[in-house]
Amino acid sequence: MKYDTPVATNPIDQLKIVGRATDRIEGPLKTTGTAPYAYEWHDVVPNPAYGFVVGSAIAKGRIASIDLTAAKAAPGVRAIVTADSAGKLDKGNFNTAHLLGGPTIEHYHQAVALVVADTFEQARAAAALVRIDYTRDKGAFDLAAAKDTAPLAPGGGFNGDPETKVGDFVGAFASAPVTLDATYTTPDHGHAMMEPHASTALWEGDKLTIYTSNQMIAWSRGDVAKTLGLKKDQVRIVSPYVGGGFGGKLFVRADAILAALGAKAVGRPVKVALTRPMMFNNTTHRPATIQRIRIGATKDGTITAIGHESWSGDLPNGSPETAVGQTRLLYAGANRMTAMRLAVLDLPEGNAMRAPGEAPGLMALEIAMDEMAEKLGMDPVDFRIKNDTQVDPEKPTRPFSQRQFAKCLELGADKFGWNKRKAKPATVRDGRWLVGLGMAAAIRNHIPFKSAARVRLERDGRLTVETDMTDIGTGSYTIIAQTAAETMGVPLDRVDVRLGDSDFPVACGSGGQFGAANSTSGVYAACVKLREAVAQKLGFNTTDCTFAGGKVRAGNRSVPLTDASKDGPLTGEDAIEFGDLDKKYQQSTFAGHFVEAAVDAATGEIRVRRMLAVCAAGRILNPKAARSQVIGAMTMGLGAALMEELAVDKRFGFFVNHDLAGYEVPVHADVPHQEVIFLDEEDSIASPMKAKGVGELGLCGVGAAVANAVYNATGVRVRDYPVTLDKYLDNLPPTA
């Protein structure tokens, strides 16, 4: 199905099933422990062996020698895979470093060996007996030290242009009556998802099946094939349930490749799961940023100049954290400049983490907007609304497909009681607590992405939907079932959804907030094909008939849907393919985040008391699942604001706090009352579902809203995340 003209009405608009708050259909499987995750395919993978990964003890250099004698002699050991024994391995298109290192070492905890044994405990014990001598090279591990010599980042693809210029930023900033020039920093972040990176590999002749935890099946199938020197049709990837990914499972990681190599070496299935410390340093993370923001405005608050520069680091041939992207779109301003610079660092690979770009970028931009509002003597909400725009500020001939940005802020301010905020910081007390209100704006783009599905009408009238789309805990099973049920006119419980298998049609996958709108559009396209086949079978004109209540109707004629499949199943398969609407219209989602924070006047302890998000994200396909996505994202933003930070050992190049004891994330006691409001809107330019993504939007801006609330409570401005005691305790207002 080509989608190059905005749709008027279609079967989804009935909203009998789509758009309704619906329980997750796979919920019972997960709550009873019967949903098979990557390490748990016991019924289809008999008698597996277990692999344990040995990670490099240095960050950069070479393996001088490796002694496997003691490890091979350990009980239960069946094989040890190293770069020497693995044969020639390529590097996947989506990998920055090789997934099996040696003799060259590219980062700390890069996998250098896999010990395979009869039990996990035997493999782990034997791995401790592997003796490796290294020759260490000097590495670069400090972004601040590398900042001044960092060149412009590579452009293209998801990175966008490394530099943009509109008008005369330098001149406009220099002549602006009111200016701000400030630098902000965000640290390295870890995904810290619940389910570890894990894979179970099985060879049948020259055919490889990997049961793994992965967000993007087609990408990963291609990279497994490329890495191992196989054809794509020799590789099957199966990942129907993913226990959290956040971008960390977008790409093939060492567990999958080593499980395949280990299984080949021992001639039986092999399971590999990365330990928690290995996850932090072996896989990807969100890179740290240094961001300089300059804003110039007239005294009435009109922005005349806005500039945003960002520095981040990655391994050679890596990619930047695209922290300036939202600044290109969010606020008006005739004179503009953005730039992304990328330093080469020898830390583990930096890559996508939930809302890459906007999440750290808005942590800086939205503090800067508050600081500018204060200089102007304006309310932060009013300042943002004054500089709203309905067109792409860099390309004014390109309007937004839909932009209810101001309404998000206005409604949020009203519902949150923003009018009670005191503009002067540190003036509101509740006993020993200093209390403040903060807010921030959010934007996250919608990305049209080709997505395919197959829908089959079975003999008994049930629908079976097959697509390699994944469910990473976001509710894909449910919204896909809702789409098929709505389009084909059957009850939700008559739909069976099968996901996460490379044998199925290629979908968009889960990432970039593009999964929901695109995957359901692909299912809708397949259902339209199936409707055509049903109508033809029953002798209807496709354009005249309706599908409802398990029947097909046209005029006075009504036929049970099952009549079409009584001679055998009927199948519809298609993909949604988008034209150039995204070039004609900027497609984005928007939100306003509001936070109340209390700070203990004596100890400096911060307690966030309540949070509100008002979101404009097109049609909300399942309000219950969408709310869960947003409050989860808000919680992640709370963590980024107050506690999350990977501590870099700048001598040896690794993340020191590589477990959940040292890398702090919010727990139940940290999470306050959260409220989410979705604006009633439909975006027919974005997709036939008139929907866009929402999950990552819930994170964008939250960190700044928390930081701004802490400032309003205390009068102490912290520009370096996370906002921890050491950065403000000495400057708190005196206690009474």
- Which are the catalytic amino acids? 696
Contact 364, 288 (CB under 8 A): no
Rounded CA separation 140/342 (Å): 13
Strand partners, 400: 586
Contact 653, 346 (CB under 8 A): yes
Strand partners, 66: 132
- Using alpha carbons only, give the angle 349, 352, 354 rounded to the nearest 5 degrees: 135
Rounded CA separation 255/39 (Å): 11
Task: State the burial class of residue 75 (Cβ atoms within 10 Å of its Cβ: 0-12, 13-18, 19+).
Answer: exposed
Counting DSSP H helices and E strands in the chain, the numbers are 17, 32
Rounded CA separation 331/317 (Å): 32
For residue 408, give the H/E element and its range.
helix 405-416
Rounded CA separation 529/513 (Å): 26
Token duo for residue 278: 């290995």
CB atoms within 10 A of CB 34: 10
Rounded CA separation 727/363 (Å): 17
Task: State the burial class of residue 688 (Cβ atoms within 10 Å of its Cβ: 0-12, 13-18, 19+).
Answer: buried
Rounded CA separation 374/406 (Å): 19
CB atoms within 10 A of CB 259: 33
Question: Shortest CA distance to 318 belongs to which of 301, 342, 336?
Answer: 342
Rounded CA separation 524/452 (Å): 9
For residue 308, give the H/E element and its range.
strand 303-314
CB atoms within 10 A of CB 233: 10
Contacts of 709 (CB under 8 A, 6+ apart): 436, 437, 438, 595, 596, 597, 608
Rounded CA separation 77/118 (Å): 7
CB atoms within 10 A of CB 426: 19
DSSP code for 35: S
Contacts of 138 (CB under 8 A, 6+ apart): 60
Torsional class of 541: left (φ above 0), alpha (ψ -120 to 50), beta (otherwise): beta
Rounded CA separation 565/655 (Å): 58
Rounded CA separation 710/608 (Å): 9
> How close are the terminal C-alpha atoms of the chain, in Å?
69
Contact 116, 272 (CB under 8 A): no
Torsional class of 543: left (φ above 0), alpha (ψ -120 to 50), beta (otherwise): alpha
Rounded CA separation 153/350 (Å): 13
Rounded CA separation 359/375 (Å): 25
Residue for token digits 């099957």?
Answer: 236
